[in-house]
Structure 1
Amino acid sequence: MSSKSRHIARFMPYACDREGVKFRSVRAAVDGQARGELASGSLLTAGMEWRELTLAVHLELNPQILERVVHPDEMPRPPVALVLALRCREAFLSRSHRITLADPTAGLYECILAARREELRGEVAVTPYLVRTSSGTRRPGYAWRRGAWLATGEPWTVLIDEPKPRVGDNLEVLRKRFSEAQEVPPADRANWFFLQLDSGAPRLLLNEEQPEVMRALHDTSAKGRRAAVRDALYERLDAAIWPALLLYAARAWLDGEGDVSSWQENVLRLWAKRLGAPRGELEAEVQQLAERATETPASFVLEINAALQRDDQSRTARLLAEALS
């Protein structure tokens, strides 16, 4: 074990290795077109029209790690799996991909990661973890809880290239002390977030006076209770913010007969595509989306939340229930 790994192990209640998983290579494709191998920290220039980024990740796991972090009684069938944590903090993306190890002693593994363009902005990080897949017997010096990480490695990162957005193209996220924020109504100053839509461009305010929530939102854990709580908080933001943005933009679209601000048009176009607008019919779908939102707002909110659940497939709810059980 490296000196760094030994240092970390002394301060953990069980054996672990912070240098146990390494990236052999990462190859990228944009909308199915190969872009070749990318080094960590690369800048990916793909233009503004692409829809999906695919990463073919090749990992190396030193088989000797298993002997250090798994008890000898479990070595015949070690209860472990590799997990890749895909994070994009600027776009509130947090997703994990599990690689089941058919042969934990093989050492080399591959995983395909995919993300949509609207999910990515700025730095995207992929962090590998070796984790337990089931609970076991408590033994001194060994992890026994399901989800405990046994090894990790340095994150692999890529910077998504995009021109500086026009004013109003993106949701601005600010951290403020709500007790001092005049834009937040007094009755709401104990809340942890506030969506402001009357300032020209939408702004999401996060309450600095809720330190536990702020720590949870910025937690980088890949598994366990903290990861489940963080993901649940982001799902709560999605469920509240998207319907509000859409209803506001839809009313502006109809009142202005399509002459709206940049962010309002972007929100409507994004969701028209997300709900399956056929190629070449985007304008008509945007109009129908705006009409549904204003004519039957209750049904429309349910439609948007159903789409958000389809994307997540209730993963966050299951993880949270498991973590807190």
Structure 2
Amino acid sequence: MVDSKSQKLRQTALPYPYRDNGLSLQIEEYQLEDEQPVELDQEQDNLTVDLAINESDPWEHATLRGEVNLPEDVVQSVYPPDERSSPPGKLYVAVRCPETIYRDRVDVGTSETEGGLDPGVHEVEISLESNDLRGKVQLLPFLVRSFEGDSDGQFATTPNVRLASGEPWTVVVDEEEESGSRLIEGEEAEFSEHDHLPGEKRLYHLDFRKVDSPKLWINSDHSRIVDILHANGSVGAEARMRDVVLDQIQQGVWSQLVVRAISDVDDEGEPRHDWERAVLNIFARDLTDEEDVTQASIQLREELNDPEGVAVLMERLDGAIQDYIDPRDQLINLIEEGLQI
């Protein structure tokens, strides 16, 4: 039974029980390059890993190791009685960097019994590449269903639907505003005051005038929206609205970036610009049946140039971007905040 007020609100927003802080992620150590691992203070309360420790010798690759705890009472809350002895589930940690609109997920090393997930503590290892990141990165644990189930409608039965989450950890990648790298640059401006930007009604504009370095402009004519985008933290109404607005922007931005990258692929499957290569590394394999990014890129270019194939490609692209961004979770969080008002 779900007892807390927040859990009751979560069940009202969703048609099934969901444990918002049911999981516990604990990062125990980090390792930069091949150096000796550094153990973290297990008594710390701020759930932060600071990797910006030596600006004169920046790191390229970092590994974080820790554990995700799935308590027995969470299993009892989110699964129907006939599944609780061998719950069909998977654990993963979502990796999100708002500054570079980078998202990834790391599967947690889990123990399974006859297709089910054992409650308890499970080890996780998270790899980070500095070229993908800037500023701060959030690590969030999630529990999802692993296959379809049958119930009376009270519990979630759809594969991959989220059942529980936990408090996020923050990884500080760099402190300086100029450090790190972005897939694309971003800047705010009043669209009404600049001829090279579209009309003042537009929320954002992706600028390809410098094709080797596209730039995302946010329209500061809409001051209230820009204020929301500057909201800090991970909870509260403004933070939830910020995440939903960012998801909306990302959907359109990613669509343009992927199509541009595909259109620039040559006969050998190579794009013209570094940012295009990064985009294709993220999406090309998911949009095709190819495991090799180069072959996948060639196939995508052929589809884009085919009047009949482009419509099917755009449909797949929309789904792939939705899977990458996962806007459902942010919308649910916003709904929860609305229910508390």
Q: Tell me how far apart the structure 2 counterparts of residues 312 and 181 of structure 1 sit (CA, whole Å).
A: 33
- Report the alpha carbon displacement of residue 30 of structure 1 after superposing the two structures with TM: 1.0
**C-alpha distance after superposition, 1:41-85 (max 9, x if no partner):** 343214353211211131111022111111122234322111211
Task: Find 2:285's aligned residue among 308, 314, 322.
Answer: 314
1:127-185 CA-to-partner distances (Å, cap 9, x unmatched) read 1111112232353321122222111111111222343428x999541355656642225
Letter in 2 for 1:320: G
Q: 1:30 to 1:135 in 2, by over 3 A?
A: same
Unaligned runs of 5+ residues in structure 2 are 230-238, 288-315, 324-341
1:258 paired residue number? none
In 2, Cα distance between equivalents of 1:91 and 1:58: 26
Cα distance change, pair 106–142 in 1 and its aligned pair in 2 (3 A): closer
Assess if the C-alpha contact under 8 Å between 1:219 and 1:230 holds in 2. Answer: no
Letter in 2 for 1:28: Y
In structure 1, runs of 5+ residues without a counterpart are 221-225, 248-292
Deviation at 1:303?
8.8
My pick for the range that moved more, 86-95 or 36-45, is: 36-45
Percent identity over paired residues:
21
- Match of residue 152, structure 1, among 165, 168, 173: 165
Higher CA-based Rg? 1
Deviation at 1:4, TM superposition (A): 4.3
**Counterparts in 2 of 1:69-80, with a 5 A limit?**
69-80=78-89
Post-superposition offset of 1:232:
5.9
The 3 A distance-change label for structure 1 pair 209 and 141 is farther
**What is the CA-CA distance between 1:123 and the residue it aligns to?**
1.3
Cα separation, partners in 2 of 1:120 and 1:310, compared to 1, 3 Å: closer
CA separation in 1, counterparts of 2:250 and 2:183? Answer: 21
Q: In the superposition, relative to structure 1, how do residues 30 and 238 fare at CA in structure 2: closer, same or farther (>3 Å)?
A: farther
Residues 96-132 of structure 1: CA distance to partner in whole angstroms, max 9, x if unpaired?
A: 1223633323410111111211111111100111111
Say yes or no: does 1:49 pair with 2:58.
yes
TM-score of the aligned structures, taking structure 1 as reference length: 0.63
Pair 1:9–1:217, CA change in 2 (3 A)? closer
Whole-Å separation in 2 of the counterparts to 1:49 and 1:319: 36
Q: 2:108 aligns with which of 99, 106, 131?
A: 99
Correspondence 1:98-177 to 2 at 5 A: 98-99=107-108, 101-103=110-112, 104-137=117-150, 139-165=152-178, 172-175=185-188
Letter of the 2:118 partner, please give it: T
Change in CA separation of 1:115 and 1:240 when aligned onto 2, cut-off 3 Å: farther
Q: Distance in 2 between matches of 1:156 and 1:169?
A: 21
Tell me whether 306-315 or 55-64 shows the greater mean CA deviation: 306-315
Alignment size in residue pairs? 264
* Partner residue, 2:38: 35
Aligned residue identity for 1:236: S
Q: 1:35 to 1:95 in 2, by over 3 A?
A: same
Q: What RMSD in Å do the two structures reach over aligned CA positions?
A: 4.6
CA contact (8 A) 2:75 2:119 kept: no
* 1:246-285 paired onto structure 2 within 5 Å: none
